[in-house]
């Protein structure tokens, strides 16, 4: 699966969709790291995510850690209820910057 | 005739360079179409070119031409055999003599004419078998690839490729022509036929023998086209490298086009060498050598044997590869078995009944990403943990081993759960890879006082059940380990008293109890709350795991449970 990427201001926005599990998270990881390699600030749109497992969360964590190492912004956008539950349960909602919509992001 | 206007000539090919039709042939062809052939006209041409017409008369009077009686002039021959038949024979000789005078480096003209003769005799034999005029088939067969010679004539620098072309079967050669000359030989033949004003009944089949089924042709032309197409393949039997393939193709197309039995095809193929020798002698065309069809069959069998040997070799290699795969799989299984053993050794043994903690771990795969541990400190307090590494497989198992070892090693000197978690977190963040993280509940329990200090780092909440059935969730207060190096790990302290503390990985609440039905937190609550009295702690956590036995859905995630209560 190839996730769509578009540019918005200084950010690249990757939209993850459906089930981000052990099968799909390698592609998500690849696209996240590809954008960061280009030194792009990154927003991950999770509004269409129906399920995310720990491998999917690990892709986000790796993106987050890599972005921090490069002094780039990394945030989650419009996190779906299913994804938010997982993040909240693991207290990762306190780790990732989360925005309800693109309008809330300081572009 | 096909429209030639679309032909795209490359830099080397210039239609103006096509040899002009010799005067004698032009004059002879002009007679075609006249209602009656005037003897004086024929005699006039014959008188101007005595040498050529003498050799033509020799051919006409040979047994090969099969006239009912000998003739002494071309006009007589026309009277006996008809103008068209004599005209076609004249064209054959003129083309041979005209093109034969050109020397092209790399191209062996003798080989070309030998191949052309094979096509010609093949066409004549097929034609006679199906009731077409043999002479016309012969002439068309001799001329059908004249465009091929023309391509080399107009691009002499490509002569070195002749041998490569000759090894190929007709379709492969046709495709190579496109790449090398940007033109095919039937297209070149069109240029030739136009420039020479060739008889339409010969030109049409020559220019369409590679597109018999797509060109709009009259029945007779279409039949002749098919004859030429088959003759092309029959000739290739003697020159192409892959003889078994070409022979099979001949059998196939002769059956398809003319319902010819395969044995009959082989008879025609076998007759080609003698027919070529005879015709070459009559027409004065030099040929290189005589190859019997039996030799060709022998070579084809060798090729078949080679293919067979290649197939056997391929099979052998495949078997070797499968053996190697099995060997590697067995090796991997051995390694996995060893890893599983090592991993199990990282889990603590079941303690006696007085020990307040029991645990259970069921792996969804060979190796688990979940773990738990407990051990006593010299002062009698007990450290315990339950963790879950993100992801699955070997990498998760390795991180599990690392985290578990860090916990046991550092826990022996850091008697402060929050600080211990912080140190493990820093260590994991420093060596973080692929964003992998570990959710963990860790605590320090004092059996004497019943006091418990505990940290929940990103793990599902622990459930604290009191004897009256009331339950409380102890949510995570910190993110998982390995995510944020500066993260803080606040402890909460409570008096366990006679309460039971259930800790579990997310594989428990996400485990399936029926098709499309997960246990979830509510199901776990209910399972614990409704357990019959008198069960041991181990029996109780086994009861929870039993919930998954009714489901046909296999474990998707590791299932780990830990139960702490005062004994």
Measured between CB atoms, which of A22, A58, A94 is closest to B435? Answer: A58
Measured between CB atoms, which of A22, A62, A90 is closest to B458? Answer: A90
| Same structural domain, B384 and B527 | yes
- Interface probe, candidates B483, B507, B521, chain A, greatest A C-beta count within 10 A: B483
Write down which residue in B41, B66, B99 finishes a domain: B99
Whether residue A67 is predicted with pLDDT greater than 90 in this model: the reply is yes
Q: With respect to residue B482, please indicate whether it lies within any of the assigned structural domains.
A: yes
**Confidence grade of residue B562 (pLDDT, cut at 50, 70, 90):** very high
Smallest Cα distance from A2 to chain B, Å: 19
User: CA neighbours within 13 Å on the CB side: how many for A66?
Assistant: 24
Whether residue B45 is predicted with pLDDT greater than 80 in this model: the reply is yes
Write down which residue in B41, B65, B99 finishes a domain: B99
- The pLDDT tens digits of the residues spanning B105-133 come to 888 888 898 999 999 999 999 999 999 88
Both structure tokens of B490: 């606040």
Whether residue B353 is predicted with pLDDT greater than 60 in this model: the reply is yes
CA B561/CA B106 separation, integer angstroms: 84
Determine contact: A81 vs chain B, CB below 8 A.
no
**Given this model, what pLDDT does residue B69 score?**
80
Rounded to an integer, the average pLDDT of B492-521 is: 91
For chain B, the domain total comes to: 4
**Given this model, what pLDDT does residue B82 score?**
82
Q: Which residues of B touch A85 (CB under 8 A)?
A: none
**Given this model, what pLDDT does residue B213 score?**
67
**Confidence grade of residue B215 (pLDDT, cut at 50, 70, 90):** low
| Same structural domain, B131 and B26 | no
**Confidence grade of residue B8 (pLDDT, cut at 50, 70, 90):** very low
**Given this model, what pLDDT does residue B412 score?**
94
**Given this model, what pLDDT does residue B13 score?**
53
| Same structural domain, B309 and B340 | yes
Domains annotated on chain A, with CATH: 5-104 (3.30.750.24)
Determine contact: A62 vs chain B, CB below 8 A.
yes
Secondary structure class of A47 (helix, strand, coil): strand
Which residues constitute the domain of residue B211?
A: 102-291
Measured between CB atoms, which of B437, B476, B487 is closest to A89? Answer: B476
- Interface probe, candidates B400, B435, B477, B489, chain A, greatest A C-beta count within 10 A: B435
Smallest Cα distance from B390 to chain A, Å: 5
Whether residue B551 is predicted with pLDDT greater than 80 in this model: the reply is no
Determine contact: A20 vs chain B, CB below 8 A.
no
**Given this model, what pLDDT does residue B191 score?**
86
**Confidence grade of residue B2 (pLDDT, cut at 50, 70, 90):** very low
Q: Which residues of B touch A58 (CB under 8 A)?
A: 390-391, 434-437
**Given this model, what pLDDT does residue B15 score?**
65
| Same structural domain, B361 and B497 | yes
Smallest Cα distance from B485 to chain A, Å: 10
Instruction: Could you list the beta-strand ranges (E) of B363-470.
Output: 370-376, 382-389, 438-445, 451-457, 462-465
| Same structural domain, B311 and B405 | no
| Same structural domain, B142 and B27 | no
Burial class (CB in 10 A: 0-12, 13-18, 19+), B404: buried
Whether residue B324 is predicted with pLDDT greater than 60 in this model: the reply is yes
Smallest Cα distance from B437 to chain A, Å: 7
Determine contact: B437 vs chain A, CB below 8 A.
yes
**Given this model, what pLDDT does residue B397 score?**
87
| Same structural domain, B380 and B439 | yes
- The pLDDT tens digits of the residues spanning B146-155 come to 889 888 888 8
Phi-psi region of B365 (alpha: psi -120 to 50; beta: other; left: phi over 0): beta
Helix, strand, coil abundance in chain B, percent, nearest 5: 55, 10, 30
Put simply, the answer to whether B434 touches A62 (Cβ < 8 Å) is: yes
CATH number at residue B167: 1.10.3210.10
Rounded to an integer, the average pLDDT of B14-34 is: 81
**Confidence grade of residue B304 (pLDDT, cut at 50, 70, 90):** low
**Given this model, what pLDDT does residue B139 score?**
84
**Given this model, what pLDDT does residue B445 score?**
97
User: Which percentage of chain B shows pLDDT scores above 70?
Assistant: 95
Q: Which residues of A touch B429 (CB under 8 A)?
A: 65
**Confidence grade of residue A52 (pLDDT, cut at 50, 70, 90):** very high
User: Phi and psi for B336 in degrees, rounded to 5?
Assistant: -65, -40
CA B472/CA B487 separation, integer angstroms: 25
- Interface probe, candidates A27, A33, A36, A61, chain B, greatest B C-beta count within 10 A: A61
| Same structural domain, B371 and B487 | yes
Whether residue A25 is predicted with pLDDT greater than 60 in this model: the reply is yes
Rounded to an integer, the average pLDDT of B39-56 is: 86
Smallest Cα distance from B329 to chain A, Å: 23
Measured between CB atoms, which of A58, A63, A89 is closest to B390? Answer: A58
Complex ipTM more than 0.90, yes or no: no
Write down which residue in B54, B78, B99 finishes a domain: B99
Measured between CB atoms, which of B390, B429, B476 is closest to A91? Answer: B476
Smallest Cα distance from A47 to chain B, Å: 22
| Same structural domain, B61 and B200 | no
Determine contact: B458 vs chain A, CB below 8 A.
yes
Put simply, the answer to whether B458 touches A63 (Cβ < 8 Å) is: no
Put simply, the answer to whether B437 touches A91 (Cβ < 8 Å) is: no
Q: Which residues of A touch B389 (CB under 8 A)?
A: 54
Q: For residue B65, give the DSSP letter.
A: G
CA A100/CA A43 separation, integer angstroms: 12
**Confidence grade of residue A49 (pLDDT, cut at 50, 70, 90):** very high
Best-predicted range by mean pLDDT among B305-314, B407-416, B510-519? B407-416
Q: With respect to residue B10, please indicate whether it lies within any of the assigned structural domains.
A: no
| Same structural domain, B250 and B300 | no
Determine contact: B480 vs chain A, CB below 8 A.
yes
CB count in 10 Å sphere of residue B211: 13
**Given this model, what pLDDT does residue B297 score?**
82
Determine contact: A82 vs chain B, CB below 8 A.
no
Put simply, the answer to whether B483 touches A29 (Cβ < 8 Å) is: no
| Same structural domain, B421 and B518 | yes
Of residues B468 and A43, more confidently modeled: A43
| Same structural domain, B313 and B398 | no
**Confidence grade of residue B3 (pLDDT, cut at 50, 70, 90):** very low
Put simply, the answer to whether B483 touches A22 (Cβ < 8 Å) is: no
Put simply, the answer to whether B459 touches A90 (Cβ < 8 Å) is: yes
Q: Are B200 and B1 in contact (CB under 8 A)?
A: yes
Per the DSSP assignment, residues forming a β-bridge with B494 are B452
- The pLDDT tens digits of the residues spanning B441-472 come to 999 999 999 999 999 999 999 999 998 888 99
Q: Choose the weakest-confidence range: A77-91, B255-269, B307-321, B438-452.
A: B307-321
Average pLDDT over all residues of chain B: 87
Nearest CA-CA partner of B2 in B164, B208, B144, B197:
B208
Smallest Cα distance from B475 to chain A, Å: 8
Q: With respect to residue B507, please indicate whether it lies within any of the assigned structural domains.
A: yes
Q: With respect to residue B444, please indicate whether it lies within any of the assigned structural domains.
A: yes
Determine contact: A31 vs chain B, CB below 8 A.
no
Put simply, the answer to whether B434 touches A58 (Cβ < 8 Å) is: yes
């Amino acid at each position: 699966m190839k996730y769509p990427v578009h540019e918005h201001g200084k950010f690249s926005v990757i939209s993850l969709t459906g089930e981000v599990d052990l099968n799909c998270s390698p592609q998500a990881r690849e696209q996240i790291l590809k954008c960061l390699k280009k030194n792009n600030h990154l927003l991950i749109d999770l509004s269409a995510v129906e399920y995310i497992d720990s491998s999917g969360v690990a892709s986000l964590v790796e993106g987050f850690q890599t972005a921090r190492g490069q002094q780039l912004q990394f945030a989650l956008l419009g996190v779906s209820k299913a994804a938010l539950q997982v993040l909240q349960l693991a207290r990762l909602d306190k780790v990732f910057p989360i925005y309800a919509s693109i309008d809330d992001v300081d572009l | 005739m096909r429209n030639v206007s679309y032909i795209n000539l490359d830099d080397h090919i210039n239609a103006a360079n096509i040899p002009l039709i010799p005067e004698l042939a032009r004059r002879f062809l002009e007679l075609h179409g006249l209602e009656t052939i005037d003897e004086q006209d024929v005699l006039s041409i014959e008188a101007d070119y005595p040498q050529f017409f003498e050799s033509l008369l020799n051919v006409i009077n040979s047994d090969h031409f099969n006239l009912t009686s000998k003739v002494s002039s071309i006009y007589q021959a026309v009277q006996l055999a008809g103008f068209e038949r004599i005209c076609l024979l004249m064209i054959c000789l003129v083309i041979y003599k005209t093109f034969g005078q050109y020397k092209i480096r790399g191209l062996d003209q003798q080989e070309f004419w030998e191949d052309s003769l094979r096509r010609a005799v093949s066409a004549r034999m097929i034609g006679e078998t199906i009731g077409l005029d043999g002479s016309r088939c012969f002439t068309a067969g001799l001329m059908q690839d004249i465009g091929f010679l023309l391509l080399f004539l107009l691009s002499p620098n490509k002569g070195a490729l002749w041998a490569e072309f000759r090894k190929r079967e007709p379709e492969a050669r046709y495709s190579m022509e496109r790449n090398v000359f940007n033109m095919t030989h039937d297209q070149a033949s069109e240029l030739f036929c136009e420039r020479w004003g060739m008889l339409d009944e010969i030109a049409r089949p020559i220019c369409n023998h590679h597109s018999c089924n797509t060109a709009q042709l009259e029945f007779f032309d279409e039949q002749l086209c098919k004859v030429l197409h088959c003759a092309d393949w029959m000739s290739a039997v003697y020159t192409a490298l892959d003889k078994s393939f070409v022979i099979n193709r001949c059998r196939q197309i002769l059956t398809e086009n003319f319902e010819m039995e395969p044995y009959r095809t082989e008879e025609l193929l076998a007759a080609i060498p003698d027919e070529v020798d005879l015709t070459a002698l009559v027409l004065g065309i030099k040929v290189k050598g005589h190859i019997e069809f039996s030799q060709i069959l022998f070579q084809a069998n060798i090729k078949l044997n080679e293919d067979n040997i290649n197939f056997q070799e391929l099979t052998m290699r495949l078997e070797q590869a499968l053996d190697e795969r099995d060997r590697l799989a067995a090796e991997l299984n051995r390694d996995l078995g060893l890893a599983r053993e090592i991993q199990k050794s990282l889990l603590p043994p079941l303690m006696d009944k007085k020990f307040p903690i029991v645990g259970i771990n069921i792996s969804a795969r060979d190796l688990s990403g979940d773990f738990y541990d407990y051990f006593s400190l010299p002062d009698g307090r007990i450290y315990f943990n339950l963790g879950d590494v993100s992801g699955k497989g070997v990498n998760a198992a390795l991180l599990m081993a690392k985290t578990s070892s860090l916990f046991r090693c550092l826990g022996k000197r850091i008697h402060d759960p929050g600080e211990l978690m912080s140190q493990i977190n820093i260590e994991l963040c420093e060596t973080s890879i692929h964003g992998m993280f570990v959710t963990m509940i860790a605590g320090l329990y004092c059996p004497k006082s019943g006091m418990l200090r505990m940290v929940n780092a990103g793990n599902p909440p622990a459930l604290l059940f009191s004897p009256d059935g009331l339950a409380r969730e102890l949510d995570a207060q910190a993110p998982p380990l390995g995510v944020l190096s500066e993260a803080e790990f606040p402890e909460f302290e409570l008096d366990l008293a006679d309460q039971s503390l259930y800790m579990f990985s997310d594989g428990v609440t996400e485990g399936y109890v029926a098709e499309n039905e997960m246990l979830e937190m509510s199901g776990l609550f209910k399972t614990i709350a409704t357990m019959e009295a008198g069960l041991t702690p181990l029996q109780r956590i086994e009861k929870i795991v039993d919930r998954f036995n009714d489901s046909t859905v296999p474990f998707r995630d590791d299932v780990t449970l830990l139960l702490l209560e005062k004994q």
